[in-house]
Structures are given as structure tokens and as C-alpha cells.
Structure 1
């Protein structure tokens, strides 16, 4: 009897492998270091839903610090005054694509951090193109970078996003863990950025403690003499997918 169970177990294992879900990747990104002068750091912020964190935006405006802001169509719709502020300072703010509805750009049915993914290549394309259309309709230039909700993808969804004409915006420093860190921890994360780092944080959670820490971390970086750049101002390579 046992000689029949072994082949059956192998067959079941092969079948399970064949139907396993694609691996999710979280791309990392650094800006190029081929320059002379102070350390360069790219600050990037996600505006997913919710409102605008003026603790962060006020620092960027007051200190004249450039940043790349990834906005969703949903955020633009509910934050017209904040969007107008970004548009009024094109020398500081690069507005890029965070999608239409803040749906993870993953092309098979799954859930990430409790958020239902797009679920198909066609739905990924709708999420990307819907976000871009909203940005252009708001009066900003056509976006060139895309960062999906949760910043996780499959290799095939990254290929689809590239086919649509976008680079996927990874990062190298997670400044606030989805805005869930405490203020002190977020300050330390951001302030630890070094030459070539791309920092991700959130600018849409004014009630979370993390925003205060992010603002302080930015000020600490400026005091240290770093040069802030937007992704559009850099020669950034394509991101490197990692587990």
C-alpha cells in the first residue's frame, strides 16, 4: 500500500506547486551616486486617502525642500486645496501616480494588509491609468513614476506597469511603516537616510504621531547638510525587486 502513497504524495506536491500564487516583490530603489558634493536624498510621500499632514507639508514649504508626492485619484478629489498648493510650487513638488483607488497593483486575486488587490492585468492597468488621468486632469504634468498601494507587486504586474510607460518607484528607507510608527521612531528612521537613499513616508495622516517624527527627521537631515532631490531630477535606475 505504501508504495502507492509515495507517488500520490509527489503528484499532489507537484500540483500544489503548479497552482501556487506568484511571489510578491517589494522593489528597492536608490538614486545614482555619480555626483560631486553633498549627500543627495530623495524624499517621497504617499497621499493614499484621508487628508493632508500639514506638519510635513509646512516644513517642506517653509524650508524650500523638494519632494516627490505620490497621489491617488481619491486623495486629489478630497483634497483640492492641498493639491492646489502642490501645483503652485512646481519647483518643489513632483506629483506622481499612486493609482486611482489605492488598490495594490497585483494581478491575481489576493489581499495585502487587508486591502483587496487589483486581481488581474486589466485591473492593474485601470488602477495605473486612472491615477494618471486624475493627475493630468488636476493640471499636473503626465506622471512618469508609479507606486502602487502597499508597494508590493508581482514580476508580471511590474512588466505591465512598465509597458504602460512608468517606472516603479521603490524605496530604500521606510520612514514611517505606513504612518504607524511612533514619532521618535519615525524621526530616527528618516534622519538615518544617507547618500542615494529614497525615503518613503506618508503625508495623508495628520492624526498619526508618525507625521511629527517625519517632519523632525527632515529637519535633522537638512541641518546635516544633505541635498534633497526629486525623482525627476535624478538618474535613478529601475528598481531592484526583493522579497
Structure 2
């Protein structure tokens, strides 16, 4: 009897051992399944190409988002418009506008030569009309690593979603016109250089907050200044020099490269050696974050 019981126990143990070595049917772990399912869309999303900010679909989306919003701010210091470099380092960003048009398509060749000879980096805000008048020079400037090309608009108009004007210059009439003012020249610059400008300055440097927000949705940052360097090319050389000497760490200076014969070039030439002795160096906007 005892031998029979012992044999039965041995047989039972053998059956259990065999069962343990056989492959087990896996019951899905709900938490793991949910985690896997939740990760799948993220992987697909991260693998998708970014929407081209100049695509009709993206522009329609932005217009749909902002077209019924009413602006609350208007001017040069509109919220969202960057005025300075976000740094305490002794650096200054010299920015030069080329406004284009009948009275704004000149070329300050002496100024350009000086920047090149002294190896002074600068950001050039170029208007579409100026590009049309100087296509070869524009390509040369865009190919020069010393310079960063930015967008100064298509028709040099204040950026408004409701037709506000300043200095006798009519602003864009609505959101679509405001975006056209930016994007037509954005396309032109990208077609020529292969690069998408990151920064935009409106004609007259006036904006409303809705236009600024809509531009930001398309990856375009509105930029002004904290140093009025030459007041549209109307300052004499002494005034330009004194304006630049008021720079502080992180300043953005607004000057012009389309007004030969103005005081801009001479004032820049007088101010830069002094600023260098004070420990300042010169940078492009894209070298730093802005605020």
C-alpha cells in the first residue's frame, strides 16, 4: 500500500514538472497593452514631417484661428515683439534695414565694405522691393556668413489686422493682408537663399498684437530694437555715434543700409572702435534668444 502511495506521489510530481516546462498561454497584461497602444500614436506623430509654415493648409489654419480676434495693442512695443537679446553679456546686435521702394532702394556700399573689412556680424532686414532692385547684391550678402538675412516685408507696410496707419503709411487692412506682407517676401527670400528667415520687422516697426501672434504661429518672430540708431537714416554721424554709445549688454540697434550719404556709415565707424574698447562684441540676432 505504501509503495502504491509512493508511486502515486512520484507520478504527480512528474506531471507537475512537465506542466511547468511547457509553454504557457500568455494572458495579455492590460497595463502593458494600454501603454503600448498609447505609445504608438506618439511614435507616428514624432515621425511625421513638420507642417511647412508657408503651406496653404497652415496659412488657412492660422487665418481661421486669428481672423476674428480684435487687437488690443498697437505700436513699436507691442507684446510679443522682441526688443533685446536675452543675455547679460556685453554683446550688441547691429540690424540694418533695406526698405526698398522709390526712395528706399539705395545701397550704402561704404557701410557694407566697412562691416566686411572689420568682420562685424550683422542682421540685415531686407524688403522685397530692395531685393528686386538688387538681386545680385542680395545673393552676395545672403551668401556671406558674416550676415544673417531677415524679412522686412513685401511693401514696407505697418502690420495691422484692421487697417491702422502710421507716419502717413497705410497699414495692412486685415489679417490676410498682414500675412501676405510677411509671406510674399518670405517666399522670395527662401526661393533665392534656400533658407527660411526667422525674423521679421514691419515697415515703420509698428504692429498690432494679433498680427504678431499670427506670425509667431508660422514660426516668424517680430523684432524691433532698444537703440534707435539712425532714425530712418535721418541722423547725422554724431547722432548715430551717440545713439550707439547708449547700448547696453544685449542691445538691438536699428540702422539702415539703404541710405548712402546719410550719417549712418560714419557714425557706425566712429562708435564701433569705442564700443570694442569698452569690451563689447557684435553678434547676429540668431546667436541668442530674444526678449
What TM-score range do you get, normalising by the shorter chain? Answer: 0.7 to 0.9
Q: Structure 2 matches for 1:47-86, cutoff 5 A?
A: 47-49=98-100, 50-86=105-141
Matched, 1:209 2:263: yes
Q: State how far apart, in whole Å, the 2-side matches of 1:32 and 1:21 are.
A: 26
Q: Which fold has the larger relative contact order, with Cα–Cα distance below 8 Å and residues 6 or more apart in sequence? A: 1
Matched, 1:135 2:185: no
SS of the residue 2:214 aligns to: helix
Matched, 1:25 2:80: no
- 1:45 corresponds to: 96
Q: State how far apart, in whole Å, the 2-side matches of 1:212 and 1:116 are.
A: 32
1:21 to 1:167, Cα distance in 2 relative to 1, 3 A: closer
Higher helix share: 2
- 2:36 corresponds to: none
Whether the 8 Å contact between 1:48 and 1:102 is mirrored in structure 2 is yes
- 1:116 corresponds to: 170
Whether the 8 Å contact between 2:96 and 2:125 is mirrored in structure 1 is yes
Q: State how far apart, in whole Å, the 2-side matches of 1:232 and 1:199 are.
A: 14
2:206 corresponds to which of 152, 157, 163: 152
1:219 to 1:58, Cα distance in 2 relative to 1, 3 A: farther
Whether the 8 Å contact between 1:44 and 1:201 is mirrored in structure 2 is yes
CA RMSD of aligned residues (A): 1.9
CA displacement, residues 64-116 of structure 1 (integer Å, 9 cap, x when unaligned): 010111101111111123213312312x1000111111111112223211211
Deviation at 1:229, TM superposition (A): 0.9
Q: State how far apart, in whole Å, the 1-side matches of 2:129 and 2:205 are.
A: 17
Larger radius of gyration: 2
Deviation at 1:212, TM superposition (A): 2.4
Structure 2: give runs of 5+ residues left out of the alignment.
Answer: 1-69
Q: Structure 2 matches for 1:215-234, cutoff 5 A?
A: 215-234=269-288
Q: Which moved more, 1:162-171 or 1:62-71?
A: 162-171
CA displacement, residues 149-173 of structure 1 (integer Å, 9 cap, x when unaligned): 1111111111121122111112111
Question: Given the two structures, how large is their TM-score scaled by the length of structure 2?
Answer: 0.69
